[in-house]
Structure 1
């Protein structure tokens, strides 16, 4: 019976650890994943002040929680801080982040 108890304990440990991993993935999905390339549809509007596309607005809304990170990153800050970035965000209904 000791062997059966050990198997039961091992099973419970595996089950609990797999549930912990599942929760971690779900939390990551709700926070969103920052993928700068997904904002490429916004580049023309941010550079020229033109009307952003529906695809651009969808990407901005999806990555709204990432904007502060982009502002702090020298590779992307020029786009988020650009002259037309506020206009694009406002048109898409995304508030400019207060970082």
Structure 2
């Protein structure tokens, strides 16, 4: 059952990836980051079973920090908000104020 859930989540993320692949956020002094939700794939185990996020997951979250509000505003990701809050807290990343 867990494999089916993981496969479904990966499928959904791969469908949404082309939508977010072209978005680039830029602020003064900040490097360009392509907002690609599939880059957060190392975080899937934490989303699915609530386990501690890996170092790679936390690094990807820090890289994609400027994209969080875009992800949060997308209704397709609303079911993952609770898990996202827990993972961000575990990675010592503040929850965005959008």
Distance in 2 between residues matched to 1:30 and 1:94, nearest whole Å: 18
What is the TM-score when the length of structure 2 is the normalising length? 0.63
**Higher helix share goes to which structure?**
1
Structure 2 equivalent of residue 85 of structure 1: 84
Structure 1 runs of 4+ with >6 Å offset = none
Aligned residues: CA RMSD: 1.9
1:42-96 deviation per Cα after TM superposition (whole angstroms, max 9, x unaligned): 12102221100111101100001101100111222322x12x3212101112111
- Give the unaligned 5+ runs of structure 2: 1-25
Distance in 2 between residues matched to 1:38 and 1:76, nearest whole Å: 15
Q: Note the 1:43-58 alignment, pairs <5 A.
A: 43-58=44-59
- Alignment: residue pair count: 71
Larger RCO, structure (CA 8 Å, separation 6 or more): 1
- Give the unaligned 5+ runs of structure 1: 1-26
**Higher strand share goes to which structure?**
2
Distance in 2 between residues matched to 1:31 and 1:88, nearest whole Å: 24
